């Protein structure tokens, strides 16, 4: 699945000093060589086209910017300014505007470039009308227990409870009020035992489009090509606006009674990943080009607290195709660079991602036989052939021969294959519990070994917020007039591993609902 969350604006080092102004948060000694090898693989995954993250951001925060109107050629006044055009930002703008607040959304790209525009469209929640229509009995209390079992017990309990009880409301709002078309089948995800993912009929755009219409009909303005650069703070420490740069290069000061930062994550900022998620340094990313962390940095610069435990959202990747390629077949045998099987190939993608991301080379390999290749459609066959041409896939009369061609120990790979084949023939995976329907015999030579990898689709970490979605400072106090929603503050909800597919998207829309409403009510009070 393709997950991105937008950033807002280019990095501004003004007032923060140069590259050496912030002490590094971890050593770049021996780890640098490992990071380089991982980045080399990342480039191989994208054929050299992977966009590298923006560097040069001070990660420890700087003194607050005391911006004044004379810096900008134009000043505009609003009740609420929302930064970021993903699902969180658009939802926040819509709910703010429905209260009667004069609202504007600033998006640095020329389109709504947040994660929702690329998401598959899964929303996780309990007690929903979608579940009831499918005959599934569920309630938020049971979902809370699940969240607490997935690391939520290490985070703020009130936020876990808030999400458990309000995620279902968001799904019902989308389904019943905005008429988002969800599939009839409710999906089982993560380690959960109850189907809870409501899946959009085609993609995440099924939700983003009606939410955008909702916001526009409510009167929210959308200003595209407007990159937020820094927050405006008064002498009392209250946020009073934002300085943004237009696509023509002109500075505009947006004065506001409330600001909602919904600028997404930082997967395209290598320095931030190194500092906050070092276990995933060098992992190739497929998030949007705007996910460079400036929105988060603006708040850190004025004293916002950061919460995160080093996790990222990710999927399995194929070097010849972006996204969750169908060449990553769970009917194949998967081995690591030692030639050993390491997981149930039909298991949860996120769990396998975490395993592979911690391999030294961040690679795994799929073993095909000729029958699997013959079953590929024309599009996948062309990508398969491209992999062979590039030397990313290899062919041999035996698995050992194909593995050796990719630098994998052939003898060990063959032993693994032979043991796996015996389990397939017996119809029982006694090693990892793969279900019989996915145990497909691989008996037709020649054999192929395909290089695979992983990629990030989001960062887990950001502003610490309360259940009113006010941004908190390092003393735990709300920064006046500053709110947040979406991936930029998801560390308050997600610990380090992803609880289940659809949690991130629902976090964005749910936090957007409440951040927008609360920001507007405060502005109009």
Question: Which phi and psi (to 5°) does residue 59 adopt?
Answer: -95, -5
> Same topology for domains 69-265+460-524 and 315-456, yes or no?
no
DSSP character at residue 439: -
**Distance (Å) of CA 193 to CA 171, 303, 337, 498:** 19, 41, 33, 16
Cα–Cα distance, 206 to 202 (Å, whole number): 7
**Domains in the chain: boundaries:** 69-265+460-524, 315-456
Cα–Cα distance, 117 to 88 (Å, whole number): 11
Spell 200-234 as b/e; 16+ CB within 10 A means b. Answer: beebbbbbbbbbbebbbebebbbbbebbbbbbbbe
- Per-residue pLDDT at 65: 43
- Per-residue pLDDT at 325: 87
- Joined together, the tokens standing for residue 142 give 């049971």
Q: Which of 41, 514, 486, 10 is nearest to 264 (CA)?
A: 486
- Per-residue pLDDT at 69: 40
- Per-residue pLDDT at 114: 75
Strands (E), 68-119: 74-83, 103-107
Half-sphere exposure of 356 (CA within 13 A, CB side): 34
Cα–Cα distance, 365 to 363 (Å, whole number): 7
CA diameter of the chain: 77
Strand 251-261 and strand 74-83: pairing? parallel
Cα–Cα distance, 46 to 57 (Å, whole number): 25
Domain 69-265+460-524 has CATH 3.50.50.60: yes
For the domain spanning 315-456, the CATH number is: 3.90.700.10
pLDDT along the chain (525 residues), means of 10: 31 29 28 33 36 33 42 91 96 98 95 78 97 97 98 97 98 98 95 96 94 97 96 97 95 98 95 95 86 95 97 92 88 97 92 92 97 96 97 98 97 98 97 95 98 94 98 98 98 94 96 98 97
Rg (CA), the chain: 24
Question: Which phi and psi (to 5°) does residue 92 adopt?
Answer: -60, -45
């Amino acid at each position: 699945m393709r997950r991105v969350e937008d950033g807002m604006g280019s990095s501004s080092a003004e007032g923060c000093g140069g590259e050496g102004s912030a002490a590094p948060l971890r050593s770049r000694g021996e780890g640098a060589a490992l990071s380089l090898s991982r980045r080399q693989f990342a480039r191989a995954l994208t054929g050299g086209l992977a966009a590298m993250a923006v560097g040069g951001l001070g990660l420890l925060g700087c003194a607050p910017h005391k911006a004044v109107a004379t810096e900008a050629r134009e000043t505009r006044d609003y009740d609420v300014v929302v930064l970021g055009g993903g699902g969180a930002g658009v939802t926040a703008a819509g709910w703010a505007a429905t209260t009667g607040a004069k609202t504007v959304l600033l998006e640095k790209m020329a389109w709504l470039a947040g994660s929702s525009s690329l998401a598959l469209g899964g929303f996780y929640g309990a007690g929903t009308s979608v579940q009831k229509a499918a005959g599934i009995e569920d309630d938020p209390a049971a979902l809370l227990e699940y969240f607490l079992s997935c690391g939520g017990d290490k985070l703020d309990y009130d936020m876990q409870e808030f999400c458990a009880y309000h995620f279902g409301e968001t799904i019902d709002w989308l389904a019943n009020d905005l008429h988002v078309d969800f599939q009839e089948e409710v999906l089982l995800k993560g380690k959960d035992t109850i189907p809870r993912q409501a899946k959009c009929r085609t993609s995440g755009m099924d939700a983003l489009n009606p939410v955008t219409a909702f916001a526009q009909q409510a009167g929210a303005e959308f200003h595209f090509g407007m990159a937020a650069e820094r927050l405006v703070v008064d002498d009392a420490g209250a946020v009073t606006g934002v300085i943004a740069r237009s696509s023509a290069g002109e500075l505009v000061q947006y004065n506001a009674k409330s600001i909602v930062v919904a600028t997404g994550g930082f997967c395209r900022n290598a320095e931030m990943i190194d500092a906050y998620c070092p276990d995933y340094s060098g992992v190739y990313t497929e998030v949007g080009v705007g996910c460079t962390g400036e929105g988060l940095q603006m708040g850190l610069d004025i004293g916002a607290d950061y919460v995160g435990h080093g996790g990222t959202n990710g999927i399995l990747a194929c070097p010849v195709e972006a996204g969750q390629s169908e060449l990553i077949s769970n009917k194949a045998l998967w081995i690591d660079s030692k030639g050993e099987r390491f997981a149930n190939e039909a298991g949860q993608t996120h769990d396998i991602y975490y395993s592979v991301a911690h391999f030294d080379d961040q690679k795994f390999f799929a073993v095909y036989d000729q029958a699997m290749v013959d079953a590929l459609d024309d599009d996948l066959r062309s990508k398969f052939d491209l992999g062979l041409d590039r030397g990313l896939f290899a062919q041999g009369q035996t698995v050992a021969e194909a593995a050796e061609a990719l630098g994998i120990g052939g003898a060990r790979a063959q032993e693994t294959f032979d043991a796996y084949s015996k389990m397939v023939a017996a119809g029982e995976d006694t090693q990892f519990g793969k279900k019989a329907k996915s145990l497909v015999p691989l008996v037709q030579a020649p054999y192929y070994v395909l290089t695979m990898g992983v990629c990030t689709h989001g960062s887990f970490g950001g502003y610490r917020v309360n259940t009113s979605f006010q941004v908190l400072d390092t003393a735990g106090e709300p920064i006046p007039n500053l709110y947040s929603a979406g991936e930029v503050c998801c560390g308050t909800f997600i610990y380090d591993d992803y609880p289940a597919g659809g949690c991130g998207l629902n976090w964005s829309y749910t936090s957007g609902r409440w951040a927008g409403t609360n920001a507007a009510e405060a502005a109009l009070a």
